[in-house]
Structure 1
Amino acid sequence: MKKQNLLNVMAVVLLLFSSCTSEQERMENRLKKFIAGYEKIIIPLYREMALTSWNANITGKDEDLVISEKASFEFSKVYSDAAAFNDLKEIKESGAVKDPLLARQLDLLYDAYLGNQIDTSLISQRLKMETEISRKYLNFRAKVNGKDLSDNEVENILRNSRNIRELKDAWEGHKMIGPVVEKDIIALVKHRNLIATLLGFSNFHEMSLKLSGQDPSEVTAVLDELDNLTRDGFAQLKSDIDNYFSKLYKIRISELRPWHYQNRYFQEAPDIYPVDFDKYYADQDPVKLAAAFYDGIGLNVDAILAKSDLYEKPGKNQHAFCTDIDREGDVRTLNNIRPDSYWMNTILHELGHGVYSYYNDRILPFTLRDAAHSFTTEAIANMFGRLARDPLWMQKMGTITREEAAVISENAHKSLRLEMLVFSRWVQVMYRFEKSMYENSDQDLNRLWWDMVEKYQLLSKPDGRNLPDWATKIHIALYPCYYHNYLLGELLASQLYGYIEANITDNLSLAGEKTVGTYLKEKVFMPGARYPWNEMIEKATGEKLTAKYYARQFVE
């Protein structure tokens, strides 16, 4: 009898195991079939969207913007398919998909579809609103003393002029884009919130973070930690900055206003230390320098540069970005390069994005041929962008002598520390402003903006000013709820650099070290989106994301 009972139990176990195996096989095959159909549709739409967006950003023409909008709509519409989402939902809720690559694709696809389970007319309306705002930004030029000035020209005045009237006119001229787009942006914020609430989220900010694999409370906690880490150090440096500009402009510290800090948003460190980095690049070609550097570390970028658009032209987007057209090697960067340290940093930064995309593992499925998270590609871009003001790197690249590197080394380090702390405080403004704006878009946003600026950047609001200065920042309108990723990218950049220094090479300039490229390809680029971002970071550095390396470099 006991033997029979044992046989019965074994039979039940085998039956259950067979049933589970059968269910796993059934669901995984169902998912494979879904992915095959999905890729057949999405890959050509993705490429068309990327190409038309690229063209629209170069020409700025209304007809090209319309074409780009249509392509974006067709791409987004795929993810609004309710039947497809329900299919994914059933597969996900079964819990039967065990294959790691399939399970990861399932998670990513589920979130992508979840964010679009709304009426396609709402998506179309959102895209139209974004396109109209984009057109206004693209075509706007600041009017200063009767002249139309590009963003580059405004920045040049703010960096180099000593005429207080000219500084104020340039700053205020640039801010006039605010009233042009203010109402459009508020309407867009409300529309995005409508979409988010229909999908079960509190607001668009919460939805954006959660669907990108981030817990809003964790992100806020990291920024709170950084606020505490940087507050006192920044306040001390801000005092040094104010003393410097008070003497430079021959005015009292109490008279200093935002146009005295050398850029439009005080998001970049002013040049208060006697290192004129621009002069070292005045006779250099930033593109050639960047290409030589990347080739030296085993990450050749010739194919990227061959398809890129690198210099200023009328109607063109005045900013910079990198785009992966097809996840098959067609990677491009748009820039407006001039021979100065800003654009040296920018081209190194954008090509950092570029190599991350270009050196992906093309054996991976299309969905996984992407960064682990948007901020992990920012980390690579930031790590390389920092080198533009590193005397050791500049020496290795032949832009300065060993003797000159020694002369500027101390002030260069101070300058980088200042840059990191200034940027850290600026991100506090952006993150907390957007979070609050999406929580309550009916509040006084002009006041909210300046409350944040005064608290985190310690800038004084111009007397009596009540204009939508927040609306002048294009990211708030067109790249929403993303800015904190730049700062998370800085944290990871320091963590990766710390690992490379400890384990890969003692050449702190990284120049000529092909082992650096090999490490990044194998541990960061080729894994793609195979792992959640913190798992990838732990595999690459031995630790999950931490602020300690950033603090070690710039705070302690």
Structure 2
Amino acid sequence: MARHWISLLTVTLMAGLGLSASSNASGAEWDEAKAKKFIEEHVARIQPLEHTAALAWWNANISGKDEDFQAKEDAQNKLDAALSDKSRFAELKSLKEATFEDRLIERQIEVLYLQYLEKQVDPELLRKITAKANAVEKAFNAYRAQVDGKSLTDSEVRKILKESKDSKQRQAVWEASKKVGAAVEADLKALVKLRNEAAHALDYADFHHLQLNLNEQSQAEVLALFNELDLMTRLPFSKAKAEIDERLADGLGIKVVDLRPWHYQDPFFQEPPAVYKTDLDSAYTQADILKLCREFYAGIGLPIDDVIARSDLYEKPGKSPHAFCTDIDRKGDVRVLANIVPNEYWMGTMLHELGHSVYSSKNIPQSVPYVLRTESHILSTEGVAMMFERFSKDADWLTSMGVKLDDPKAYDEAGTLMRRNKLLIFSRWCQVMLRFEKELYANPDQDLNDLWWTLVESYQGLKRPDNRSAPDYASKIHIVTAPAYYHNYMMGELFAAQVHHTIAREVLDGVAPSKANYVGKEAVGRFMKERVFAPGRTLSWDKLTEHATGERLNPKAFAKDLKD
């Protein structure tokens, strides 16, 4: 047997890692000890910076103030600088090649590698990316559509697009809502090129490829799934849209051939227009949306009173006009930003955002290591949020929650059609977003205005406005603040359908998924805690899907929902 010589330096290092020369530690034990030390040091250095950055991000989106956005930018720069440390990354890269008996340590190293990898570019380039993204996000928060000398909030834009019978007014409001695109176009294009520069520095073809890789996905696999969904949804979407078009045109007193994007109520046609005799908003005009949310989530054993207490939920100047949920510290400080008005859209939105909140450090056990104490993946948290959101259109859910409906049968019929149409319409919209962002980063110098409308025409069936050449793509905030993210919403819908069908089968005694009602069912909350929330990020998204449903992510349940 060869003799093992241990140098004085090695003995010193081993002592620092809590080992001794006499322990005759194996290579695996040695690597494991180094990994543990790296993780401990990472948490000590990075956790305070992530906490500060999360708070600064929250404050900036709440206030819209210059000083808060500057603080947000400064906090992100400090976090980026810490993660860009090349000596730390070299150590992490070495650990990634090691073999560990402890799966939790191995998974933390995998996740940390991806987190650090993104920052292994010139620090000045990182600062430029942060500054440019910050500037564009600030412009979005400050922007309000201007029509006839009046400033309109996002909710007011939606209300007019839903209720107005005047096509000229609708067009004016729609076009005004899109002008934010022109305001941010130059900065957005510059940001895309900066992101690509960072991707090239890391040997990726472009930022789209990089971002998917950082999220444990591949562009080829995602595109293959979306091609399958395209074939699955194209015909039923065309049939549903033909019916919607007839109803829209009839309600507006115009011909189907004259329908344009501003007639479809949602500014991007990502939501189904309200074209049925029963108006789903009628259930919510007098309802207390927050009370319904509190009672619903408490009834399934996932109370959210503490989240609501920390949240900012109504419109005000300078505040982001959108909605999101954020976990500030991975210790239970979870918050929602919203702009509630009493209608079905905001009922669904609040069920959605509070669905994110229950899939967070509120319900991921504190025993899960800090690095992994977050959702398995963005598609899994979006899926959970979407699964709960669907109930806003459900008559059975509303009556179970004590909301009186004038005609429950008519509401149920309209809601069922709206839910099905939502799945179809949203699926087609996600095709546009995925394919546009893929091409945006592949060639940012092409005619992006034309690319956008070519995809909208192809996948959503909308008619391009005559002689329009405007950066309408740039009016979608996700392209700025959540790049290469949107496909995860659609994959989240598949996850939502798969989990919902599992709950119907295993928790609700085999009830038909279309009839599954969670109200008052604490067993639903237990299932979600045990099968979806508890693993945190110890499992990758594909392994979590198997853990929760017994199958890999697939479109079978989603396809069944389209038929029911």
Structure 1 residue 19 displacement after superposition: 12
What residue number does 1:537 align with? 545
What residue number does 2:380 align with? 376
What residue number does 2:524 align with? 516
In 1, distance between residues paired with 2:79 and 2:494?
Answer: 33
- CA distance 1:99–1:20, shift in 2 (3 Å): farther
Structure 1 residue 96 displacement after superposition: 2.3
Q: Does 2:136 align with 1:133? A: yes
What residue number does 2:85 align with? 81
In 2, distance between residues paired with 1:496 and 1:333?
Answer: 24
1:50-449 mapped onto 2 (5 Å cutoff): 50-93=54-97, 95-357=98-360, 358-401=362-405, 404-449=407-452
What residue number does 2:555 align with? 547
Structure 1 residue 20 displacement after superposition: 11
Amino-acid identity (%): 44
Q: Does 2:444 align with 1:475? A: no
For residues 109-163 of structure 1, give each alpha carbon's deviation from its aligned partner in whole angstroms, at most 9, with x where no partner exists: 1111111111111111100001111111111111111111111111110011111
In 2, distance between residues paired with 1:26 and 1:275?
Answer: 67
TM-score by length of 2: 0.94
In 2, distance between residues paired with 1:484 and 1:327?
Answer: 25
For residues 29-71 of structure 1, give each alpha carbon's deviation from its aligned partner in whole angstroms, at most 9, with x where no partner exists: 0010011111001111111111111111010001100001111
- CA distance 1:405–1:39, shift in 2 (3 Å): same
SS of 1:176's partner is helix
CA contact (8 A) 1:230 1:555 kept: no
In 2, distance between residues paired with 1:248 and 1:156?
Answer: 16
Structure 1 residue 406 displacement after superposition: 2.5
Q: Does 2:38 align with 1:34? A: yes
In 1, distance between residues paired with 2:274 and 2:252?
Answer: 14
CA contact (8 A) 1:434 1:481 kept: yes
What residue number does 1:11 align with? none
CA contact (8 A) 2:64 2:141 kept: yes
In 1, distance between residues paired with 2:134 and 2:59?
Answer: 14
For residues 225-246 of structure 1, give each alpha carbon's deviation from its aligned partner in whole angstroms, at most 9, with x where no partner exists: 1100000011111111111122
Structure 1 residue 21 displacement after superposition: 6.3
In 2, distance between residues paired with 1:408 and 1:341?
Answer: 12
- CA distance 1:20–1:248, shift in 2 (3 Å): farther
In 2, distance between residues paired with 1:150 and 1:519?
Answer: 39
SS of 1:322's partner is strand
- CA distance 1:29–1:136, shift in 2 (3 Å): same
What residue number does 2:13 align with? none
In 2, distance between residues paired with 1:405 and 1:500?
Answer: 25
Structure 1 residue 386 displacement after superposition: 0.6
In 2, distance between residues paired with 1:84 and 1:457?
Answer: 47
Which of 457, 461, 475 is the matching residue for 1:458? 461
Structure 1 residue 359 displacement after superposition: 0.6
CA contact (8 A) 1:73 1:123 kept: yes
TM-score by length of 1: 0.95
What residue number does 2:16 align with? none
In 1, distance between residues paired with 2:99 and 2:257?
Answer: 65
In 2, distance between residues paired with 1:274 and 1:515?
Answer: 36
SS of 1:360's partner is coil
In 2, distance between residues paired with 1:385 and 1:66?
Answer: 34
In 1, distance between residues paired with 2:370 and 2:455?
Answer: 41
CA contact (8 A) 1:233 1:555 kept: no
CA contact (8 A) 1:144 1:173 kept: yes
Structure 1 residue 88 displacement after superposition: 0.9
Please, which runs of 5 or more residues in structure 2 have no aligned partner?
Answer: 2-21
For residues 423-466 of structure 1, give each alpha carbon's deviation from its aligned partner in whole angstroms, at most 9, with x where no partner exists: 10000000000001100111000000000000000000111000
CA contact (8 A) 1:229 1:555 kept: no
CA contact (8 A) 1:352 1:384 kept: yes
For residues 294-334 of structure 1, give each alpha carbon's deviation from its aligned partner in whole angstroms, at most 9, with x where no partner exists: 00000010111110111111111110000001000100000
Structure 1 residue 555 displacement after superposition: 4.3
CA contact (8 A) 1:91 1:97 kept: no
In 2, distance between residues paired with 1:521 and 1:77?
Answer: 35
In 1, distance between residues paired with 2:306 and 2:24?
Answer: 48
Structure 1 residue 488 displacement after superposition: 0.6
What is the aligned residue count? Answer: 539
Please, which runs of 5 or more residues in structure 1 have no aligned partner?
Answer: 1-7, 9-17
In 2, distance between residues paired with 1:268 and 1:116?
Answer: 36
Q: Does 2:53 align with 1:49? A: yes
CA contact (8 A) 2:280 2:411 kept: no
